[in-house]
């Protein structure tokens, strides 16, 4: 029991062995954390109509107006991603994006599926 008291006093007065390595290990930990962060991106969506439904890699994320850049865009992680915008009565819009840690602006104009009058066909 007496020996434990001396160990406590020695560590308390002189410091433990790990303290002298603290700056190097902290720098190493910061470097590992920096490398572990995946370069993600932010996609601002400007859509017509603004209430189109947005899917990222097949998962619904919300409406186009939710990602107009104020306060945020659509966050995408590292790698290639599929973005789809669709609305009933319109042809869907699909594109692919690889963020590379940047902010991109995607302008989407959905085309109506409705029949349009043409001079050759007359009224629908």
Confidence band for 7, pLDDT divided at 50, 70 and 90: very low
* Domains of the chain, first to last: 2-36 (no CATH), 41-109 (2.60.40)
Question: In terms of Cα–Cα distance, which of 95, 41, 90, 43 is closest to 64?
Answer: 43
3-state secondary structure of 52: coil
- Whether the pLDDT of residue 46 is over 50: the answer is yes
- Whether the pLDDT of residue 56 is over 90: the answer is yes
Give pLDDT tens digits for 9-37.
Answer: 444 545 555 455 577 888 887 777 666 55
Centroid of chain to Cα 40: 5
Contacts of 80 (CB under 8 A, 6+ apart): 96, 97, 98
């Amino acid at each position: 029991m007496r020996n434990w008291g001396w160990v406590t006093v020695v560590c308390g007065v002189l410091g433990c062995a790990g303290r002298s390595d603290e700056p190097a290990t902290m720098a190493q930990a910061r470097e590992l954390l920096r490398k572990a962060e995946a370069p993600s991106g932010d996609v601002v969506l400007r859509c017509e109509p603004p209430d189109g439904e947005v899917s990222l890699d097949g998962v619904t994320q919300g409406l186009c107006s939710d990602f107009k850049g104020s306060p945020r865009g659509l966050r995408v992680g590292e790698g290639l991603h599929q973005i789809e915008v669709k609305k009933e009565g319109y042809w869907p819009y699909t594109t692919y994006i690889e963020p590379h840690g940047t902010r991109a602006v995607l302008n989407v104009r959905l085309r109506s599926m409705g029949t349009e009058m043409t001079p050759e066909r007359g009224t629908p």
